[in-house]
Amino acid sequence: MSPINSLNARLWSKLGQRGTFGITMLDLEKEIDDFMVLTADLCSTSGLDRFRAQAPDKFLNVGIAEQNLVGISAGLAKEGYTVFATTFANFAAMRSYEQVRLNLGYMGIPVKLVGLGSGFAMGMFGNTHYGIEDITLMRAIPNLCILSPADCTEVVKATVAASRHPGPVYLRLTGITNNPIVNKEDYAFEIGTALTLKKGSDIAIIATGSMVHHALVAANLLETRGISSTVINMHTIKPLDTRVLEEVCKSSRRLVTVEEHSVIGGLGGAVAEYISTRSHHPPLQMIGILDRFQKAGDYPYLLEQNGLTGPQIADRIAKLNEE
């Protein structure tokens, strides 16, 4: 496996999460017998051009047919192959949703389904290509593990963890190239165990995917305003780390979830579902993609329009704190 260090972290960051995923496939192919990578006509977009060239017999393009992508992947996985299958997050979650429910969920066939370009990564492609409901949908399917890595280094960690996970996984890739770096050094990544990146006493910011970086930026800005924040990297949406939620419910006056995903039913929804079972819990503010379709724009524009940049998140939290 490629070593995890600051040099690779910078290289992977330049490539973005999809490019990093492709490199990880090359590493895993050398380690795992009976390995297959499938895509629905998104080889280059998945960062898989080198993989296709170097391991053509382990690569399969099923064409623009996402339902079939999941079905074929399940057939191969049922026969014992470790299978990664890639398509855009919205197609994985919506075009092939019933195949995911039946094959990965109901039968528990351990396909590793990769949602590319989730959130606003597809920029000028517009709303047809934004993956903004995928967590909501995937979360409702029993048996499915949902991973949402914070940066490219975590893409490596999460992809390797997915390959070793005995059950089905939905791996959600966010952001574009020059993906902000959260992790420069190696660290322990365990499915279902969130990472506390910063400890504070006032606010707990629980973030996932690309928003972990922005949450850290926000926390540092809040610090200068005298507001102390905990920052949690909730890289596993399902199973949700409820232990860390118990901790922050006790240690914080307010909880904030931040995600590059709809405010309906995503990480915020998952956290709300859990904490609402407690007799007492801090108020929860869910920050995410607003419940509306977007005017298409580039990635930074879309984040800004939805209040998802670090400074905007800091302002929103500071305002809440004044209430």
Partner 1 sequence: MTTHDQILGNIEEMACRMRKNALDLALSAGNNGAHLGSGLSIIEIMAVLYGGVLKVDPNNPRWVERDRFILSKGHGTLGYYTALAEAGFISREELATFERNGGILPGQPVMNPDKGIEFSSGSLGHGLSLGVGVALAGKKRGRNYRVYVLMGDGECNEGSVWEAAMAAKHFQLDNLIAIIDANEMQSDGARCDIMSTDYAAMWQGFGWDVVFADGHNISSLYNALIAGTTPSIPRVILASTVKGKGVSFMENNNEWHHNRLTKAQYDTAINEISSR
| Residue 98 interacts with partner 1 (CB under 8 A): yes or no | yes
Distance CA 285, CA 67 (A): 36
Contact 91, 128 (CB under 8 A): no
Q: Nearer Cβ to partner 1, position 98 or 298?
A: 98
Of 55-63, 115-123, 139-147, 219-227, the segment contacting partner 1 by CB under 8 A is: 55-63
Q: Could you say which of 13, 82, 99, 179 contacts partner 1 (CB under 8 A)? A: 99
Which part of the chain contacts partner 1 (CB under 8 A), choosing from 58-66, 178-186, 207-215, 226-234? 58-66
- Of 32 and 102, which CB lies nearer to partner 1 in the complex structure? 102
Measured from the CB atom, the residue of 70 and 141 that comes closer to partner 1 is 70
Contact status: 107 vs partner 1 (CB under 8 A): yes
What is the phi/psi pair of residue 266, to 5°? -90, -135
C-alpha triplet 121, 230, 145: angle, nearest 5°: 50
Of the pair 12, 97, the CB lying nearest partner 1 is at 97
Q: Check residue 77 for interaction with partner 1 (CB under 8 A).
A: yes
Please state the separation of Cα 298 from the chain's center in Å: 20
Contact call for residue 72 and partner 1 (CB under 8 A): yes
Residue 73: closest CA among 110, 46, 25, 108: 110
Minimum CB–partner distance for residue 60 and partner 1 (Å): 7
13 binds partner 1 (CB under 8 A): no
- DSSP-derived secondary structure for 134-186: HHHHHHTSTT-EEE--SSHHHHHHHHHHHHH-SS-EEEE----SSPPPS--S-
Task: Choose, by CB under 8 A, the member of 11, 32, 55, 65 that binds partner 1.
Answer: 65
Q: Is 75 a residue that touches partner 1 (CB under 8 A)?
A: yes
CA distance 205 to 307: 15
Contact status, residue 71 vs residue 87, Cβ threshold 8 Å:
no
Residue ranges in contact with partner 1 by CB under 8 A: 57, 60, 62-63, 65, 67-68, 70-81, 98-99, 102-103, 106-107
